[in-house]
Structure 1
């Protein structure tokens, strides 16, 4: 499931429960921004905004997936074009499942401050 999801993050709604909780990578930066998203539509909107912000260029190169029926960790590197320059940022996504659906996710970027500086508006303003 996670390999399919990382192949096309815009399809996240296929895999999430209605009450999914999404912990954003900037959650510990002390910013006056929400550190979590609640509900399937908020998570879908966030992923679509990130997709739009990168002009549809966001891809994930997966290094490893470790999973059981309850939890998973995925490590890799995201690649994208943003403001006419290439980006690469290592990540580790942690996932929790219930009844075969994602119920919780923790975004973890290698440098969340740099990621937020580049893509922050897309990450926390999904309606734009």
Structure 2
């Protein structure tokens, strides 16, 4: 297990996240904190980076409105951003950090940003997922 993987795991536990899956060989953690609305968030320690992703919804019908609204909302997100997977159909929240400089506050800020996004923008995300 890499030192960075262990540090990230320790931080998550300090922040009261439940680790629901862990793969040390691939340096992947899947976490949740239901009180913050976070479920199945994936953290990948790919030295020198920590990648954080949370699947949000599948795009069923591509429209300019969905893409435009997501890009406009990106401007309001403090840490992280909306992104599309390689298929262009799955919308995820994504943020990356340098492992070497990562501290507890930085990881907490990203997870809080995701939680805030989910609470403030939930109605719109649900609407997008149905279209």
**Shared fold by TM > 0.5?**
no
Higher relative CO (Cα under 8 Å, sequence separation at least 6) belongs to: 1
Q: Which structure has the bigger radius of gyration?
A: 2
Q: TM (normalized to structure 2)?
A: 0.31
Structure 1 length as normaliser, TM-score? 0.31
Determine which structure has the larger strand proportion and give its number: 1
